[in-house]
Structure 1
Amino acid sequence: TWPASVAGPRASVWAPGTGLPKSRVSGHTGTSFCKQMPRVFSQTGQHARSASADLTLKIGSWMPVEVAGCTAATRPTDQHLLTHPGPSAHRKGRKSLGSKMTSREPKTSLKNAYPSAKRLLPKVEREAEAEDYCTPGAFELERLFWKGSPQYTHVNEVWPQLYIGDEATALDRYGLQKAGFTHVLNAAHGRWNVDTGPDYYSDMAIEYHGVEADDLPTFDLSVFFYPAAAFIDAALSHDHSKILVHCVMGRSRSATLVLAYLMIHKNMTLVDAIQQVAKNRCVLPNRGFLKQLRELDMQLVQQRRQAKHSDNIEKAGEKEL
């Protein structure tokens, strides 16, 4: 057993000969503490003395020692790093980590969020990542929509000046005018869906484009990918334009067309596009639309690789000349 003057719940063991500051062990330094150890075991004979030396060696092997240039470790404010934390310290650590995870950080501007993230990767790594990219399956894509999506609201900005909304947003003429929307893409155009049309906005400075689509896995929405993407791209070519892409709920049809736009005109992969949209709005295209987006993704990836291969051949030919 350890004497009361040596042991204690707050005891700190220091490597002998380190010159570290005084420990909290009853006024003893680490060196004096280790010197007392043989006396503690001397009552039990030679075996105890050998055990003491062995224990001293083991303690010295794992306890921190001062390294040249690492004087910061000897500051009083860092002494807690050299003591073994108890259960309460672990609980405090878990609590502080949880508070960090739940704390709200300031949001990055939508205009700079995606490009800045891509610029962090060196060019070689970005090219290697593009070469290794493979379109995920439908289940893996659905999981991307479940990660960190905000709560459902009527309308959200998912890309600079590009919004996804629902039927209530599209029918609110006063709200659209007040918010400054200049373009509306209705992905649920038709009498039995969101029955608006150009006449509904005729007395407003709003340009309308309708896509008569049903939110069914068997519906072929891919035939509207390029026309809808062209309309969105033309709308966003003006600095002061704002476009609303909507359907009934603003989750499936409208989200699918926005994803197609980001893939076609912003050179995003399907994974990049989903991450960009899902972090700003709660969306989930049906399985049939996801399958069509996967096919579009594979086509675009193949086209980009072929274009890059052609460029490399052309550059190699120029070098030879």
Structure 2
Amino acid sequence: MFSCPFPTPPTCGLLGLLLKNRRPTGAVNEVWPDLFIGNAATARNKTLLQNLGITHVVNAADGPQHIDTGPRFYTDTFIQYHGVEAADCRDFDLSPFFSETADFIHGALSQKGKVLVHCARGISRSGTLVLAFLMIKEGLTLEEAVELVCRSRNILPNTGFLNQLCQLDSALHRRKM
């Protein structure tokens, strides 16, 4: 399915990595220093966010048809908000949001902030955006990013998102050459 050259693994290889050593994960998990992936319930629990020290939220399922928290939901907190109105279907192109979301996360972490990236279940859209961040800003390959995140949380981007990540991996690899 993927038309990506080495070093990006094929779909079956990526799926194998994503499904390897799965164990129960909670509603929210720290997957990189001060970077968390969680579900919608986590994003709506302001007390939990405060206890975790979350300063920034990325909602990968933003909008009235999805998880409509938005910046107004957090007005009584110090949380900064970034919304991505994305559908969790393989035909949705999430890649236009990779750079802006990576910039938002990177900016927050650079200011010693803590970031929650969430979608409905914290598996596909949010996982995809965190993988893209790790590739764009931290210089990891897709395979390295998947292995790193899966140590802390079970994620499973849909096949369309995996394809987009593969294309990103190839583009980043070409730039390094």
**TM-score interval for Structure 1 and Structure 2 normalised by the shorter chain:** over 0.9
Aligned residue in 2 for 1:288: 160
Aligned residue in 2 for 1:275: 147
* TM-score computed with the length of structure 2 as normaliser: 0.95
Partner of 1:163: helix, strand, or coil?
strand
Q: Which runs of 5+ in 1 are unaligned?
A: 1-131, 306-321
Contact 2:105–2:133 (8 Å) recurs in 1: yes
Tell me which moved more, 270-279 or 140-149: 140-149
User: Which residues of 2 match residues 115-126 of structure 1 at below 5 A?
Assistant: none
Contact 2:60–2:118 (8 Å) recurs in 1: yes
Aligned residue in 1 for 2:34: 161
Q: Distance in 1 between matches of 2:110 and 2:156?
A: 27
Q: Distance in 1 between matches of 2:50 and 2:150?
A: 26
Contact 1:150–1:279 (8 Å) recurs in 2: no
Q: Relative to total residues, which structure has the larger strand share, 1 or 2?
A: 2
Q: Distance in 2 between matches of 1:155 and 1:231?
A: 19
Deviations 1:40-69 (A, max 9, x none): xxxxxxxxxxxxxxxxxxxxxxxxxxxxxx
Q: Percent identical across equivalent pairs?
A: 50
* More relative contact order, 1 or 2 (CA 8 Å, 6+ apart): 2
Aligned match for 1:195, one of 49, 52, 68:
68
Contact 1:228–1:257 (8 Å) recurs in 2: yes
Q: Distance in 2 between matches of 1:274 and 1:179?
A: 24
Matched, 1:243 2:115: yes
Runs of 4+ in 1 over 6 A off after TM superposition: none
Matched, 1:226 2:92: no
Aligned residue in 1 for 2:21: 148
Aligned residue in 2 for 1:264: 136
User: Which residues of 2 match residues 1-321 of structure 1 at below 5 A?
Assistant: 134-239=7-112, 241-305=113-177
RMSD: 1.2
The amino acid that maps onto 1:233 is H
Q: Which runs of 5+ in 2 are unaligned?
A: none
Name the larger-Rg structure. 1
Deviations 1:211-254 (A, max 9, x none): 00000000000000000000000000022x11100000000000
Contact 1:150–1:280 (8 Å) recurs in 2: no
The amino acid that maps onto 1:134 is P
Q: Distance in 2 between matches of 1:206 and 1:180?
A: 10
